[in-house]
Homo-oligomer: A and B are copies of this chain.
Amino acid sequence: MSEADKREGADVGQRGANGGGKSSAGSAEGHKSDELKLAAVYVSDAQYNRNVFFNTSPQCVRLYMLYNHWSLQFLVYVFIFVDLALALFEDPAFVPLPLWATYIMELICLAAFTARLIHYARIIPKQKFWKDPKNICIVVVILLRRAFRSIRNALPQIIYVFFLFIISVLMFSLMALKLFGKRDLKTIDGRSYFTNYGEIIFDLYVLVTTANSPDVMMPAYNSSSTFSIFFIVYILINTYTFMSVFLAVVYNNYKKYLKEEVRQLVRAKRQKMVRAFKVLQEMRDEEPVVMQACWNQLVCVVQPNITNAHRELLWSVSDENKRGYIGKMAFLQLPDLLNIQVITLKSRTHPLEIWIPRIYSSSASRLICRVVQHRAFVYIYDFIILVNAVFIGLDEENSFFSYAEWVFLGLYLLEILMKLYTFEPRAFYARHQFWNWFDSIIIVSALVATILNSVLKPSDGYNGRQILDIVFILRVLRLLRVVDSIKRFRAIINTLVKIGPTILTFGQLILVVYYIFAMVGMELFKGKITYFENSASPGSEYCGNPLLKGSAFAKNNYCKNNFNNVWSSFVLLVELTVVNQWHVLASGFTAVTNASARIFFVIFHILVVIIIINIFVAFVLEAFFVEYTFSKGELQTSLEKKIEELELGIEQDKLDENLVEDMETCENDLGPSETVKGKPSLMFKIASKRYRTVDGLLQRMFEADLSPEDNADDEDPDNESPPGYNFPNPSYDTI
């Protein structure tokens, strides 16, 4: 037993002794419940990979549970969003608001953050919080800790490749200067071609991004065909090879650091589970174990909305030998078991069958049900959608077509109603029935918008464009349904949808980087370029800045791409990310300030396109391979086996029928006995490839690579707070 364990043990023992000291049954019960809460907090920390070293006193544990409550976490996110969104209303404003309003908003946000911070400070040991003076700074930046870490980790390795790449660009520029500088070539706007070394470097850097290909080559190519070799070699080396190497290096680093990070997460999780075990353990046959009753209570505290049947299923997987208690190893599986999403299903009868049994079971009614369930029904509606697509493409001014629109809407409504008549409504609108939800929402909104549109049309003073736009978009979105009816497409879309949430973590990173560049850009370029709504106004030809007269920027009509407010800054940054024409955009801002403005745009390109987009691609690749290639985990397999053993499994196709997902709480208990009689009324299905948390996917990614000893007990003395590990991860980042 390590020192840390002894300390922990002594701690538990002491609190146990304290509880015993009061020697009242209520207090003992209270103590028992405190212990359970502490263990529950450990388990849910392990489940969601939180890494906070909180005080273990009962009060702090309760505070900590409150701290982790989803509603508070959600509130914090709302305030962060509001705080960031304030930039839209502050000068330079997209939508101007009075100064006092934004000030008050800002104050409210800051108050919320402070409250959160105080709450946090109450939870963790005081000396730990103040030991680190940078704590408050950390808390502010912490939201995007992981994302920033990705960049920081990729940097050192990429920097050497980057220098080599820069040397290559510099040398090619020198060669270009020597080869073309003396030939008196002219570019298309009559400037001299490749005579200034600095300009050449910028031009060739832009060529790496392909944005000025083939224009940059044309003067030389026109002068002699063989000069094209220079540019082809340049593109081969710098555009293709170096960019691929950047991707390879970023990908490699990304994987390496992610693996290390996941390894640490797994270890921390393990530690927490060991602590939870120590809190709850009892001795049985000289082996520390956890009893089933205790375990049941724990699970109910950790996951209040778990069904009894689901809980018993998990227990039967943990306690394979049906001994009524489990050892340490089986206990440690708990968070993984909880993270496997099990869909609990109950067969239900259609409400109409209860309300109007005679009519519902009549032969006419049964015919309707058979028609709806028939394959041809799907084909007919697919055909209707295609016809609809053609009608949408035709002119809607014609009154015939606008009548047709009502017919299509009616047909779609009829389809939904018929399906609701046939299938049990709660099953039809179950959580995983994405397409049913999608259909119904689209159709209902289209109905509302179309009605609104035709009601408002006759009234004067209404131009109706906004609502009509929505109607059009909804009308086209309806066509998406065709995709669902082709199996292969559905598979691809499902994969994309599954990767979706984990990709969103990158959305955070990109948003923050955009935000920083938008702020800096507004500082530097605000008001230098103006867009005139009225194209007849005198300055509109040169974006209100005489320096832009005759420039490519003004000629291309890019005036609205400016840094005058947050929204246009973001749009501009998106355009820079897409890369094409970025040199023209950059040249505009260079013209209105000075040549050093290019630095801003080059840094943005390096940071966003070379590093972040590559990390993004690396992530998509990795996630896609996991989705494609990984088989089910060991625990999942054993859980599935158990489900099969108990004959509680359901096939995929049954999911679409009269079964409904149901969430029971521990209180609303049906009891397990009902389950086994005849055909079970309660069935399970593993949603095998859904991950509750982002970390779940990450851990799965590297599951195969993690050596088993990482899972072994860590018994080194400074286990409690390994070096460089103390208080690194406040929980902001694991919501």
Q: Which of A's residues lie within 8 Å of B, judged by CB? A: 94, 160-161, 163-164, 167, 171, 174-175, 177-179, 188, 197, 210-215, 217-218, 221-222, 225, 228, 232, 235, 239-241, 244-245, 247-249, 251-252, 389, 392-393, 469, 472-473, 475-477, 479-480, 482-483, 488-489, 492-493, 496, 531, 555-558, 560-561, 567-568, 571, 574-575, 578-581, 585, 613, 616-617, 620-621, 624-625, 628-629
> Which residues of B sit under 8 angstroms from A174, Cβ to Cβ?
389, 392-393, 476, 479
> Which residues of B sit under 8 angstroms from A629, Cβ to Cβ?
252
Closest chain B residue to A177 by CB distance? B393
Instruction: Tell me if A245 and B210 are in contact (CB < 8 A).
Output: no
> Which residues of B sit under 8 angstroms from A585, Cβ to Cβ?
214
Query: 5 A-B Cβ contacts within 8 A?
Result: A174-B479, A179-B473, A210-B580, A228-B574, A248-B625
> Which residues of B sit under 8 angstroms from A480, Cβ to Cβ?
171
Instruction: Tell me if B175 and A476 are in contact (CB < 8 A).
Output: yes
Q: Tell me the complex Cα distance, A408–B483, Å.
A: 69
CB A712 to nearest CB in B, in angstroms, measures 24
Q: A160-B489, A252-B625, A567-B225 are in contact. Are A580 and B247 (CB under 8 A)?
A: no
Q: A393-B177, A560-B221, A578-B213 are in contact. Are A492 and B160 (CB under 8 A)?
A: yes
Instruction: Tell me if A579 and B210 are in contact (CB < 8 A).
Output: yes
Q: A164-B489, A489-B163 are in contact. Are A245 and B392 (CB under 8 A)?
A: no
Instruction: Tell me if A244 and B621 are in contact (CB < 8 A).
Output: yes
Instruction: Tell me if B476 and A557 are in contact (CB < 8 A).
Output: no
Q: Tell me the complex Cα distance, A629–B256, Å.
A: 11
Closest chain B residue to A617 by CB distance? B244
Instruction: Tell me if A473 and B620 are in contact (CB < 8 A).
Output: no
> Which residues of B sit under 8 angstroms from A167, Cβ to Cβ?
482-483, 489
CB A150 to nearest CB in B, in angstroms, measures 17
> Which residues of B sit under 8 angstroms from A496, Cβ to Cβ?
241, 245
Q: Tell me the complex Cα distance, A161–B616, Å.
A: 19
> Which residues of B sit under 8 angstroms from A249, Cβ to Cβ?
624
Copies of this chain per assembly? 2
> Which residues of B sit under 8 angstroms from A214, Cβ to Cβ?
558, 561, 575, 578, 580-581, 585
Given A241-B620, A245-B624, A251-B621; 14 other pairs, CB 8 A cutoff: A161-B492, A164-B489, A171-B476, A178-B473, A179-B469, A188-B557, A210-B580, A222-B557, A225-B567, A235-B574, A239-B578, A240-B616, A241-B496, A252-B629
Q: Tell me the complex Cα distance, A575–B568, Å.
A: 32
Instruction: Tell me if B247 and A492 are in contact (CB < 8 A).
Output: no
Closest chain B residue to A160 by CB distance? B488
CB A623 to nearest CB in B, in angstroms, measures 9
> Which residues of B sit under 8 angstroms from A625, Cβ to Cβ?
248, 252
CB A171 to nearest CB in B, in angstroms, measures 6
Closest chain B residue to A625 by CB distance? B252
Q: Tell me the complex Cα distance, A479–B492, Å.
A: 50
CB A479 to nearest CB in B, in angstroms, measures 6
Q: Tell me the complex Cα distance, A263–B560, Å.
A: 58
Closest chain B residue to A479 by CB distance? B171
Instruction: Tell me if A476 and B252 are in contact (CB < 8 A).
Output: no
Instruction: Tell me if A620 and B578 are in contact (CB < 8 A).
Output: no
> Which residues of B sit under 8 angstroms from A561, Cβ to Cβ?
214
Closest chain B residue to A624 by CB distance? B248
Q: Tell me the complex Cα distance, A560–B215, Å.
A: 12
Closest chain B residue to A480 by CB distance? B171
Q: Tell me the complex Cα distance, A215–B561, Å.
A: 11
Q: Tell me the complex Cα distance, A625–B581, Å.
A: 33
CB A356 to nearest CB in B, in angstroms, measures 41
CB A133 to nearest CB in B, in angstroms, measures 36
Closest chain B residue to A555 by CB distance? B188
Q: Tell me the complex Cα distance, A480–B168, Å.
A: 9
> Which residues of B sit under 8 angstroms from A488, Cβ to Cβ?
160
Instruction: Tell me if A571 and B232 are in contact (CB < 8 A).
Output: yes
Instruction: Tell me if B558 and A620 are in contact (CB < 8 A).
Output: no
> Which residues of B sit under 8 angstroms from A245, Cβ to Cβ?
492, 496, 620, 624
CB A478 to nearest CB in B, in angstroms, measures 10
Of B178, B241, B389, the contact of A476 (CB 8 Å cutoff) = B178
Q: A247-B617, A472-B179, A560-B222 are in contact. Are A215 and B581 (CB under 8 A)?
A: yes
Of B221, B240, B472, B580, the contact of A175 (CB 8 Å cutoff) = B472
> Which residues of B sit under 8 angstroms from A252, Cβ to Cβ?
624-625, 628-629
CB A574 to nearest CB in B, in angstroms, measures 6
Q: Tell me the complex Cα distance, A106–B439, Å.
A: 64
Q: Tell me the complex Cα distance, A167–B493, Å.
A: 13
Of B94, B164, B556, the contact of A492 (CB 8 Å cutoff) = B164
CB A236 to nearest CB in B, in angstroms, measures 9
Of B218, B235, B393, the contact of A557 (CB 8 Å cutoff) = B218
> Which residues of B sit under 8 angstroms from A579, Cβ to Cβ?
210, 213
Residue among A245, A561, A568 with most chain B CB within 10 A: A245
> Which residues of B sit under 8 angstroms from A571, Cβ to Cβ?
221, 225, 228, 232
Q: Tell me the complex Cα distance, A476–B217, Å.
A: 20
Residue among A228, A232, A244 with most chain B CB within 10 A: A244
Instruction: Tell me if A235 and B492 are in contact (CB < 8 A).
Output: no
Of B164, B178, B212, B580, the contact of A493 (CB 8 Å cutoff) = B164
> Which residues of B sit under 8 angstroms from A531, Cβ to Cβ?
222
- Sort A-B residue pairs by CB-CB distance and give the 5 closest, nearest first: A178-B472, A248-B624, A244-B620, A213-B580, A214-B575
